[in-house]
């Protein structure tokens, strides 16, 4: 019985390996957003591969100690024959994101980011001194 199910699953998987299907259907964020994290000179360097994305497609957000990287893409591909008739058209819309806990003391100003050749690079200090909030005096008139 296990072999029959396995054969069915392979047959089903083969359907998606058809040449007309250009994208893999197993597109989890960890597969798309491959990430390397290095420690260097008291900083963390995060390098995230985002091939096919533009800088405008990517957003980095820091909230409650979590650094979240979100990439969103809308894409339409159309193939036409020599007469200009549509032969094949595909649309893709997708969003992927990954979050990393970086600590509650890190601020937006501590993070330096760049995006070049499909690689997002983020650099931030490993440890940040907690800044005591200074009392704000209220003027009494």
Q: 132 is written with which tokens?
A: 């005591």
Contact 106, 130 (CB under 8 A): no
Give domain limits for the chain: 27-125
Q: CATH number of the domain at 27-125, please?
A: 2.60.40.790
Find how far residue 76's CA is from the centre of its chain: 20
CB hemisphere CA count around 12 (13 angstroms): 7
Find how far residue 84's CA is from the centre of its chain: 36
Q: State how far the Cα of 86 lies from the Cα of 98, in Å rounded to an integer.
A: 37
- Indicate whether 109 pLDDT > 80: yes
pLDDT tens per residue, range 18-71: 444 444 444 455 567 899 999 999 999 999 999 888 999 999 999 998 999 999
């Amino acid at each position: 019985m296990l072999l029959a199910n396995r054969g069915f699953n392979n047959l089903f998987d083969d359907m998606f390996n058809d040449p007309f299907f250009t994208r893999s259907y197993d597109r989890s964020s960890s597969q798309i957003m491959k990430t390397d994290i290095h420690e260097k000179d008291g900083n963390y360097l995060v390098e995230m591969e985002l091939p096919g994305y533009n800088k405008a497609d990517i957003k980095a957000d820091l909230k409650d100690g979590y650094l979240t990287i979100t990439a969103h893409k809308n894409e339409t591909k159309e193939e036409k024959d020599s007469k200009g008739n549509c032969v094949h058209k595909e649309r893709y819309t997708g969003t992927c994101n990954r979050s990393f806990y970086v600590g509650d003391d890190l601020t937006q100003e501590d993070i330096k980011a760049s995006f070049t050749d499909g690689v997002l690079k983020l650099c931030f200090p490993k440890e940040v001194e907690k800044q005591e909030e200074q009392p704000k005096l209220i003027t009494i008139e």
